[in-house]
A = this chain, B = another copy of it.
Amino acid sequence: MQPIKLSQLETPCLVLDEAKFERNITRMRAHLDQLGVSLRPHVKTAKSIDVARRVLRPPEASIAVSTLKEAEYFLAHGLNDILYAVGAAPNKLDHITDLRKRGARLTLILDNGDAARAVVARARASADRIPVMIEIDCDGHRSGIVPGDPALLELGSALTDGGCELRGVMTHAGNSYNCGSVAAIRTMAAQERDAVVVAANALRAAGLPCPVVSVGSTPTATYADDLAGVTEVRAGVFVFFDLVMTGLQVCAIDDIAISVLASVIGHQRDKGWIIVDAGWMAMSRDRGTAKQKIDQGYGLVCDALGRPYEDLIVADANQEHGIIALRPGARAGLPDLPLGAQVRILPNHACATGAQHQAYKVVRGDADAISTTWPRIGGW
């Protein structure tokens, strides 16, 4: 059977460059090996068992998830050491109990007494020593308690006394996405590490267990140079990377492993517009580069083989229409892309763009042939 070629596909679709993807994984794993920490990949970026299997080294089965649907899916595929890295609403406790009964070593996170009381009550009612990590706030980003908060020890005691398994502490340096330089990311990585290490030491000094000390964000994981005291790193977007990460100097354009394949469907020549069939439904509405130094619109345009055009972006988007135009001040001219020509568009945010699609068309480098298709899941 002839292999299917990109040029034969109906567009838009999501393309995964396997060579770049593998290189990204190899680089991150080597870096974390050198730092002496394990990797718990956050599978919310790819939501694909095929991707997870290439990140994990058997018999590793540790992942972080953002939804119970992900937990269901990855458990069904044999990955059972699952950190649910979003605070659990009480309406999810039945489902959590059910997942644990079916073999998931599902660990919860929480940062407040009400949540601890709900989980303790559930642990008692279900006679299940539910593992819990306490979420630490390292940068004022979103959730968690600051390491010096007396609530830390109260939560730790309440959980252990209440029959839960206190597994440790975790944090997420969400503000690393707003860093203006590599130096700032390095500082943030140290701050992230210090927050959980201080919290872990406080728990241990109080006689409480804290075997796991977990940090995680792709920028800090990339630039951390000392993770003493940390036991695991959670990171997700590094498998694919994206334009936001490029803007943060966390990766090069050439490292971005996913793109949206689109076809030219028209032109507005007097306006310098090329119209393609990838709009915000295919790219997502994510405009994460809008606040960065280089605004990439809804994505950076490459030729059909993945080579970027200079200064050519998706300047605007409707649901199924993308308007390709040169960036203001562009040096190059508009390329000649006739009706039907294909382009690949690099996304601002891999998690958001991936979520708009149901599968990856996998290619290697600039080959036109699709080697395989990997499904992905969505929803809750």
A residues contacting B by CB (< 8 A) are: 7-13, 44, 66-68, 86-92, 95, 110-112, 114-115, 118, 140, 142-143, 174, 263-268, 271, 275, 277, 280-282, 284-287, 318-321, 323, 338-340, 349, 351-352, 355-358, 378-380
Contacts and interface: CB of A to CB of B under 8 A. Distances in A.
Nearest to A273: B142
Nearest to A271: B140
A7 B91 CA distance: 8
A284 B285 CA distance: 7
A89 B277 contact: yes
Contact of A285 (B111, B115, B287): B287
Contacts of A11: 89, 91-92, 380
A351 B284 CA distance: 12
Contacts of A8: 91
9 contacts: A11-B89, A87-B265, A89-B265, A89-B277, A112-B339, A118-B339, A140-B271, A142-B268, A355-B356
Contacts of A266: 87, 110-112, 115, 143
Query: Interface SS of chain A: helix, strand, loop or mixed?
Result: loop
A350 to B, nearest CB: 11
Contact of A265 (B12, B95, B115, B285): B115
B86 A277 contact: yes
A347 to B, nearest CB: 11
A263 B89 contact: yes
A8 B93 CA distance: 11
A380 B12 contact: yes
B66 A319 contact: yes
A183 B136 CA distance: 52
Contacts of A112: 266-267, 339
Contact of A275 (B142, B265, B378, B380): B142
A234 to B, nearest CB: 13
A52 to B, nearest CB: 17
A340 to B, nearest CB: 4
B95 A263 contact: no
A143 B356 CA distance: 24
Contacts of A356: 355
Q: Tell which of A88, A143, A275, A285 has the most Cβ of chain B within 10 Å.
A: A285
A321 B352 contact: no
A271 to B, nearest CB: 8
Given A90-B340, A285-B285, 10 more contacts: A10-B68, A11-B92, A86-B320, A87-B266, A87-B277, A89-B263, A91-B340, A114-B338, A142-B318, A355-B356
